[in-house]
Amino acid sequence: MATGAAAESVIDISGLSLTFETADGPVHALSDIGLSVERGEFVSLIGPSGCGKTTLLRVIADLEQPSAGKILVNGMTPDEARQRRAYGYVFQSSALYPWRTIAKNVALPLEVMGVSAAERQERVRKNLDLVNLTGFDRKFPWQLSGGMQQRASIARALSFDPALLLMDEPFGALDEMVRDHLNEQLLQLWAKTKKTVIFVTHSIPEAVFLSTRIVVMSPRPGRIHEVIDSDLPNKRTLDIRETPEFLKVAHRVREGLRAGHSYDD
């Protein structure tokens, strides 16, 4: 890593399984997951629907309880990590509160955490600036486009400055032009803030463009099929997607997805 500091595990998962008991019998959402993520990494979880990538992210966030196995977040159990506000979570939909202005939405976690009004104001300003939404603080969510709403929700996740950012298909509902633009902005943000990011997606170009490491998952039962290290430089622009290096990584991911998933069913 660029900082040269001793590699530090932010996430440490081994032998993790999660089984949902349903009326039709047990569903193996996650089976024998092992994964470790180091500080400053940008890791994408990619796979077809039903492969458990969102479930894995929710387990890290303590929104789901694993049935077996070990998981540590910052060396703590997910529950402890959540109580210490270790991560910011960005959902697939912006999940902004419709009755709050953009500024008030970004301030929500700060209010919950008891940050003073003056500091709240300062952090809201800083984070709206970070996602290029300066001047929209008094607008209500419905007055913003989908892409802007999602940027506001990223500002909200960053507002209390967590070292870990968990993103669940944050740009999945947006059109491709907006998505490309936000991908570029997210990379800049990542370089600026030095956060560890875990990013769920089902888009191969998105995963390859953003990640330092790509975790390819496959369904039934949800498991990790392959972990691909990207040798692309950390500084990237959208043009990189035309280079042979990019296409090579994308090809490996596609091969991995194909091998891990039979499309017969």
Partner 1 sequence: MNAALETSAFAREVWHRRAMAGNTGPVIVILVAIVAIWYLATFALNAPFQRDLDERAGRTPSFSEFVTETMTQKKPTLPAPHQVAADLYQTVVLAKPWKPSSLLYHCWVTLSSTLLGFAMGTALGIAIAVAIVHARSLDKSLMPWIITSQTIPILAIAPMVIVVLASIGLKGLIPKALISTYLSFFPITVGMVKGLRSPDPILLDLMRTYNASRAQVFFKLRVPASVPFLFASMKVAIAISLVGAIVGELPTGAVAGIGSRLLFGSYYSQTVQMWSALIAASVMAAVLVMIVGLVDRLVRRQMGAR
Contacts with partner 1, residue ranges (CB under 8 A): 61-63, 82-85, 87-89, 91, 93, 95, 97-101, 108-109, 111-113, 140-142
Min dist CB 197 to partner 1, Å, is: 15
Give the integer Cα–Cα distance in Å for 254 and 265: 19
Is residue 213 within 8 A of residue 41, CB to CB? The reply is: yes
Q: Smallest distance from the beta carbon of 142 to partner 1, in angstroms?
A: 6
Closer residue to partner 1 (CB): 160 or 227:
160
Largest CA distance in the chain: 58
Distance CA 26, CA 223 (A): 16
Which of 14, 83 has the CB closer to partner 1?
83
- What is the C-alpha separation between 1 and 3, in angstroms, rounded? 6
Minimum distance between the CB of residue 61 and partner 1, rounded to whole angstroms?
Answer: 6
Q: How far is the CB of 260 from partner 1 (least distance, A)?
A: 28
Q: What is the smallest separation between the CB atom of 80 and partner 1, expressed in angstroms? A: 10
Minimum CB distance to partner 1 smaller for 112 or for 259: 112
Distance separating alpha carbons of residues 130 and 189, to the nearest angstrom: 7
Q: What is the DSSP-derived secondary structure letter of residue 6?
A: P
Angle, in degrees to the nearest 10, between helices 117-130 and 146-158 = 130
> Tokens representing 98?
């419709």
Query: Which residues are 43's β-sheet partners?
Result: 198, 213
